[in-house]
């Protein structure tokens, strides 16, 4: 058992504060999942992420490329197209994402029930997003 040193999330200068849940932004985790089984083209990513717009997809992919999570490869063939693929770093996120999905699978009912109970007990008053 390697006693790893956890990052100090409480230090204001710790990059953990900036980074960790970029994964938690609206689309990054889903894009990683989309790329799990191999490279995909821009247009292929648009389909499963039904609600995303081209702009946001492009932005998110750029940010992921910047952070070394995906690679962008242009094929100047005919018609020219572009492929996005996971880097090893991006792929390493899969275990984390899976852990999050497992947590959801296990505990989401409790959370939903808690939320229901809470809002029904203060039916009128509170307004928490």
State the residues that interact with DNA by CB under 7 A: 25-27, 41-43, 51-56, 58, 60, 62, 72, 78-82, 129
What are phi and psi for residue 75, nearest 5 degrees? -115, 110
Report d(CA 56, CA 51) in Å as an integer.
10
Residue 54 binds which entry of DNA, a copy of itself, none, with Cβ cut-offs from 5 to 8 Å by kind?
A: DNA
DSSP state of 8: -
Residue 52 binds which entry of DNA, a copy of itself, none, with Cβ cut-offs from 5 to 8 Å by kind?
A: DNA
Q: Does the protein bind a copy of itself through residue 128 (CB under 8 A)?
A: yes
- Cα dihedral 48, 53, 54, 57 in deg (nearest 10): -70
Task: Give the residue among 91, 103, 117 at the shortest CA–CA distance from 34.
Answer: 91
Strand partners, 81: 75
Residue 100 binds which entry of a copy of itself, DNA, none, with Cβ cut-offs from 5 to 8 Å by kind?
A: a copy of itself
What are phi and psi for residue 86, nearest 5 degrees? -70, 140
What are phi and psi for residue 84, nearest 5 degrees? -110, 135
Give the footprint of a copy of itself on residues 25-54 (CB under 8 A).
25, 29-30, 33, 48-51
Q: Does the protein bind a copy of itself through residue 24 (CB under 8 A)?
A: yes
Structure-token pair, residue 58: 């492009």
Q: Does the protein bind a copy of itself through residue 58 (CB under 8 A)?
A: no
Q: Does the protein bind a copy of itself through residue 4 (CB under 8 A)?
A: yes
Residues in touch with a copy of itself (CB under 8 A): 4-7, 9-10, 12, 15-16, 19-21, 23-25, 29-30, 33, 48-51, 59, 62-63, 65-68, 89, 92-93, 95-96, 98-108, 110-115, 117-119, 126, 128-129
């Amino acid at each position: 058992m390697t006693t790893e040193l956890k990052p100090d999330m409480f230090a204001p200068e710790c990059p953990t504060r900036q980074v960790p849940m970029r994964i938690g932004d609206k689309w990054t985790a889903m894009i990683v999942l989309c790329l799990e089984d191999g490279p995909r083209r821009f247009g292929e990513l648009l389909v499963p992420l039904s609600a995303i717009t081209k702009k946001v997809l492009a932005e998110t992919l750029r940010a992921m490329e910047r952070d070394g999570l995906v690679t962008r490869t242009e094929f100047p063939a005919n018609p020219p197209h572009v492929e996005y693929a996971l880097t090893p770093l991006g792929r390493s996120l899969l275990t984390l994402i899976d852990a999050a999905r497992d947590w959801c699978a296990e505990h989401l009912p409790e959370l939903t029930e808690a939320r229901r109970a809470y809002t029904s007990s203060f039916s009128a008053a509170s307004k928490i997003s």
